Amino acid sequence: MFLFSKLVWVFGQPLSLAFLFAVLSVLLSCVRWRKTGIASAALGALILFVTLYTSLGTYLLQGLEESFPKREDPENLQCMIVLGGAFENEVNTARHGIEFNAGGDRFIEALRLAQKYPQSRILISGGDGSMSGIYEGDAVISARFFPLFGVGKERLVEETTSRTTFENATNTKELLASQGLSDCLLITSGYHMPRSVGIFRKQGINIVPWPTDYRTDGHEVLGIDFTQPNRNSQNMATAIREWFGLVGYYFAGRTSALYPG
């Protein structure tokens, strides 16, 4: 299932689809299926235009982020679960450093809460999600990160083997039970929260959604946007990937609902 999901995403993301339709167009033209080749090229161009020059991706991402509203800090905090996906694992493995990617807010927020609630425990769930499996995961890197800011290793619970959100939940369930922890905050990116909550609910794990790492301002509208094609493309890819995950996990029976809220 893990390898299948990786391959689906390699070929199913918008820019890959646009490229595949362009290649198909050339092949069809070579065998004299000219009209079909033109249709394939047109479809590839349409996917490319929507991905690069419209706000559709950002609009879809905004919908995911709005599923779970941001909350005020609790009076007390026993524990938090931080999902991996925030570190540049390849770079950190090679350079033994602490380099964040765009999801770094997950750990910045966890650090803020850890300093505000010194009695709280932090469970970091994240192994190496690459197909090679040769890199340090988020849990390993976080053991270097938190002590730099006064959060002792004794407060950390490291789950180092998960490669997917489903494995985050199943592996975390066992650790929570062994540590006597429950009703933890679940910290992950806002767009990733619906899928995460659905999977944790399906596992019977009581959590409090704690979204962070917002990519939209909450006021996006559908329209043409020629000003930032790189951002549009990245947001489209992120939104489509999440919807692939939501639909795939739903039909696999791994989430509590198609669109948890």
Per-residue pLDDT of the chain (261 residues; tens, 9 = 90+): 666 677 777 788 999 999 999 999 999 988 889 899 999 999 999 999 999 999 999 999 999 999 999 999 999 999 999 999 999 999 999 999 999 999 999 999 999 999 999 999 999 999 988 878 899 999 999 999 999 999 999 999 999 999 999 999 999 999 999 999 999 999 999 999 999 999 999 999 999 999 999 999 999 999 999 999 999 999 999 999 999 999 999 999 999 999 998
Whether 96 and 196 map to the same domain: the answer is yes
Distance, CA of 134 to CA of 89 (rounded, Å)? 10
Range of the domain at 18: 2-65+221-251
Whether 111 and 83 map to the same domain: the answer is yes
Using a 10 angstrom Cβ sphere, with 0-12 exposed, 13-18 middle and 19 or more buried, the burial of residue 208 is middle
Cα 244 off chain centre by: 12
Residue 127 lies in a domain: yes
Whether 112 and 226 map to the same domain: the answer is no
Whether 154 and 227 map to the same domain: the answer is no
- Nearest Cα to Cα of residue 140 among 160, 162, 156: 160
Structure-token pair, residue 42? 């047109």
Whether 127 and 147 map to the same domain: the answer is yes
At 7, the amino acid letter reads L
Whether 61 and 83 map to the same domain: the answer is no
Predicted pLDDT of residue 1: 64
Whether 186 and 237 map to the same domain: the answer is no
Largest distance between two CA atoms of the chain:
71
Q: Residue 156 belongs to what H/E stretch?
A: strand 156-159
Predicted pLDDT of residue 179: 94
Whether 182 and 126 map to the same domain: the answer is yes
Angular region, 188: left φ>0, alpha ψ -120 to 50, beta rest: beta
Residue 132 lies in a domain: yes
Residue 70 lies in a domain: no
Whether 54 and 106 map to the same domain: the answer is no
Helix intervals (H) in the chain? 2-12, 14-30, 34-53, 56-65, 89-95, 105-116, 138-145, 165-179, 193-202, 229-251
Taking the model in full, what pTM does it have?
0.92
The number of distinct structural domains making up the chain is 2
Q: How many C-beta neighbours within 10 Å does residue 62 have?
A: 22
Distance, CA of 189 to CA of 65 (rounded, Å)? 8
Whether 194 and 238 map to the same domain: the answer is no
Residue 125 lies in a domain: yes
Q: How many C-beta neighbours within 10 Å does residue 44 have?
A: 19
Residue 257 lies in a domain: no
